Chains A and B, each alone.
Chain A
């Protein structure tokens, strides 16, 4: 057991350095960094306590004993003292940890007034993201991917139109539930550029496992550039496959659920696909966006993500190829 403890500590130390992954110990954002310090501190204190208790237990069980039958009178007094001291120490340590916890809480919840506000809606089983109108341009909608500027507070407005989800990108901040009928908020702040993965942390039904979100932190300039691209309508490239793909998309049930701005497709039940080709992953973090993965997904969504709300639309192989080419072209 002690080796296991040591193992944990070494892993804690080893993983706390690396970034990008979905880990509470690879924090890259102010709130998560505060919490990571608390985690490491509490683990250290608790490990020490456990080792002390185990040493006491071992000694109590294995110590050499006097030959007399029973120690009765008088010998209870040192025990009483020891137990009282241990209880007092427990109380003090508990009080200390409580205060440490309070201070950390105070450090993670305050956004400055210039914070960028993004609305995130949890849907079964994907994330709908709204950027509000700002001084640089009108608002827009995207899905399963949030871009944020580095070094700036970002306030997420968390809402849910269906069931409870929980927004959790461990490297940037602790989690916060999206509760129907309520509006919660969460402060994010990335100190370094990078891609931070997160996923839904509250059980939300069949595809709770495949409900990931990418937070992409970029330098402010790059962020504005990305936002400017997102505001644009979709552009059809001159490629004939792509054009045929667009035609098929509009003629098939696809357009009834998905919006592609700048085209007749205006469905609102599925994710906005206006710039799907520019996103890193499709189907809420399921696979990387490539023409092949798009085709595989469209051809048989229920095999890749059983129970999700995208139906299998019957397409000829040409239609499938064209539609995936079209999707990929929507950068």
Chain B
């Protein structure tokens, strides 16, 4: 209390002086050390997004290899062993290394800005999370490159992935990669929940939180509740394989279906972990490009929460043909179908917004329109596969492949691409090309539908999934060839997107603070934002804080400028509660991640790794949390 004299507070400071002091205290030092030790949520978020898109490109390459192999019957480009690795890698990579991380990465960057704070909660955990994610991704891809990639499907059903039938370390690498990505996902989820609950700008009560932030909050709770199931499952699998436990061995009292229950108890919420952030992105884009707030804010929030709750009640619809009791299955038919109601409500609210607003057809909005067209098909086929008898015919066929690509690409990747176009100026300070954007949208939209729509028909014609080839007498070759050619169009669209993103990041036209005329807080600061995000914490008085003049946005003051400090606020009303120190840069999260990586990879080979590998982890954690003699935060 005695040392924080007024000269260290921002209250009476001039703007230039304030910026100078804040920059000095919040900036990441340049150089390698700075890059490795930064805890700035914007740098880490950007890194995360870039890495996830690299994985998207790699996963896309794999899908092109599969399309090459499937273009004609009994093709010999790729043998079964490699093909099984490729489709496993494609699914695993897209789900665990692209879809979930990229959504969370968008949140890492955007949520602190949208709630008007200076850094994410637990910034060092955030840095740790990125290193873990990178290590998990490298583990998987290096294994694939050296021909030890998992070949058991992204679902890794036992016993095929179990000790008897999964020779070598391939399935272990898959299972341990899960641990890496889930640790990082859980870390982000916790950060987001705390950031949203405790770090919102003064006045941002629960009913003034932007829909994107709501969606990430619900998503984070889904992550916290769903991911432990898969970590338990994958760890049990490694134990079965390495130590010889019997979790999944029917002869010793284990159960093969236990795996499926655990996997899908995570696996179905996973779909909503990917889709709900997209709901938030669509809402943000729709609001900005129809020039009005999203219709039915309360309904949208309720739909998000309802989807999140229902998401845990329908995992069994992935197991309709596993031989479970019919009565139980019928319950899951009803719950799976019921989730169409909140999804429908969201669609109708967006339609109403578009109806009442004045649409501006910029690229982000085009992607949202494409999302509406595609996702509705995916949702409707989802209703179809929720029916037990319907599912017995299409389960594990190309109908399902079509269905979930319509849901995941249509429902998540289209909004994500729109979101990248939308927030790119905020990330980089430069605009992406509007002309190229239209081409990219056109190519991806056409390529996507031409590629995946025929798969519905292939599925109904009896083509199963996960086959590396099919026989010439089957009537599938024509459509498969057509799909393979269409996939080239789709790939061309993505290629153009990557070119545009890289080109724009270097030499796109400079962006103003709020190029789209949006109304949420991330646009209240410069593009890209300074290291401290906001010179003075904004004060929120409505759902659309920027609907008035940027100059008249009220701000709070009284924070210290001689240390990293941010404002914490109450959960419901977001009334200011305390000034809280925000941790400085640290290299320890990287060391901790490396130590954890060592332990996790080692433990694929020897159970003793868990014992001896804990020692370096303990050392790095001690370093991480070593008391610095900084006084506790003042209330």
Contacts and interface: CB of A to CB of B under 8 A. Distances in A.
B57 interface: no
B30 to A, nearest CB: 47
Interface in A45-95: 46, 49-50, 53-54, 56-57, 59-61, 63, 65, 70-71, 75-76, 79-80, 82-83, 86-87, 90-91, 94
B396 A166 contact: yes
Nearest to B463: A22
Interface in B339-381: 340-341, 344-345, 347-349, 351-352, 354-356, 358-359, 369, 372-373, 376-377, 380-381
Given A54-B373, A63-B355, A79-B295, A306 B79 contact: yes
Task: Identify the interface centre among B255, B344, B449, B460: most chain A CB within 10 Å of its CB.
Answer: B460
Given A101-B389, A108-B389, A184-B323, A23 B462 contact: yes
Contacts of A173: 392
A206 B333 contact: no
Given A4-B453, A87-B348, A101-B333, A175 B384 contact: no
Given A50-B377, A87-B348, A179-B323, A203 B389 contact: no
Contact of A94 (B165, B321, B338): B338
B396 to A, nearest CB: 5
Nearest to A308: B80
Given A1-B373, A53-B347, A203-B160, A174 B383 contact: no
Contact of A176 (B355, B369, B392): B392
Interface string B63-103: 00000000000000001110010000000000000000000
Contacts of B321: 166, 174-177, 201
A24 B159 CA distance: 28
A91 B306 CA distance: 14
B411 to A, nearest CB: 14
A164 B159 contact: yes
Contacts of B354: 57, 60-61
A209 B66 CA distance: 14
B461 interface: yes
Contacts of B459: 24
Contacts of A109: 326
B397 interface: yes
Given A87-B344, A180-B159, A209-B467, A101 B390 contact: yes
B435 interface: no
A42 B383 contact: yes
A101 B356 contact: no
A196 to B, nearest CB: 10
A57 B390 contact: no
Given A21-B475, A104-B389, A168 B322 contact: no
B518 to A, nearest CB: 16
B583 interface: no
A204 B396 CA distance: 12
Nearest to B445: A1
B334 interface: yes
B420 interface: no
B461 A15 contact: yes
Contacts of A176: 321, 323, 392
Interface string A212-232: 100000000000000000000
Interface stretch (A33-41, A136-144, A147-155, A234-242): A33-41
A83 B466 contact: no
A160 to B, nearest CB: 9
Interface residues of A, number: 89
B401 to A, nearest CB: 13
Interface in B512-541: none
Contact of B330 (A94, A105, A177): A105
A181 B321 CA distance: 16
A59 B475 CA distance: 40
A164 B372 CA distance: 37
Nearest to B83: A209
Contacts of A175: 321, 392-393, 395-396
Contacts of A163: 157, 159-160, 165
Contacts of A38: 387, 389-390
A70 B353 CA distance: 12
A14 to B, nearest CB: 11
Nearest to A62: B359
Contacts of B372: 53, 57
Contacts of B392: 35, 173-176
A180 B356 contact: no
A86 B344 contact: yes
A174 B393 contact: yes
A75 B356 contact: yes
B1 interface: no
Given A24-B462, A97-B383, A163-B159, A82 B389 contact: no
Given A86-B348, A98-B334, A180-B250, A162 B384 contact: no
A8 B457 contact: yes
Contact of A24 (B376, B394, B396): B394
How many B residues touch the partner, as a band? 35 or more
A75 B356 CA distance: 8
A201 B396 contact: yes
For A8, A101, A176, the residue with the greatest tally of chain B CB atoms inside 10 Å of its CB is A101
Nearest to B349: A83
B323 A35 contact: no
Contacts of B251: 181
Nearest to B391: A174
B208 interface: no
A1 B380 CA distance: 15
B464 interface: yes
A204 to B, nearest CB: 6
Nearest to B319: A177
Contacts of A102: 330, 333
Given A50-B377, A179-B257, A203-B466, A209 B352 contact: no
A56 B350 CA distance: 11
Given A42-B383, A43-B384, A164-B159, A105 B389 contact: yes
A170 B462 contact: yes
B292 interface: yes
A76 B334 contact: no
Contacts of B465: 201, 203
A4 B449 contact: yes
Contacts of A94: 337-338, 340-341, 383
A284 B162 CA distance: 25
Contacts of B468: 208-209
A56 B351 contact: yes
Counting chain B CB atoms within 10 Å of each CB, the highest count among A35, A71, A83 belongs to A83
A11 interface: yes
A300 interface: no
A25 interface: yes
A79 B337 contact: no
A39 to B, nearest CB: 6
B508 interface: no
Given A104-B387, A180-B256, 11 more contacts: A24-B460, A42-B383, A42-B387, A42-B390, A53-B351, A82-B352, A162-B165, A174-B389, A199-B462, A203-B396, A208-B80
27 contacts: A21-B462, A22-B462, A23-B462, A35-B390, A42-B387, A43-B384, A49-B376, A54-B373, A57-B351, A76-B295, A79-B352, A79-B356, A83-B295, A83-B299, A90-B345, A101-B333, A166-B396, A174-B389, A174-B391, A175-B321, A175-B392, A175-B393, A180-B159, A201-B464, A203-B466, A206-B81, A209-B467
Interface of B: 79-81, 84, 153, 157, 159-160, 164-165, 250-251, 255-257, 291-292, 295-296, 299, 321-323, 326, 329-330, 333-334, 337-338, 340-341, 344-345, 347-349, 351-352, 354-356, 358-359, 369, 372-373, 376-377, 380-381, 383-384, 386-397, 449, 453, 456-457, 459-462, 464-471, 474-475
Going nearest first, the 10 A-B pairs with the smallest beta carbon separation are A174-B392, A181-B250, A101-B387, A184-B323, A209-B467, A22-B462, A46-B380, A60-B355, A90-B344, A24-B393
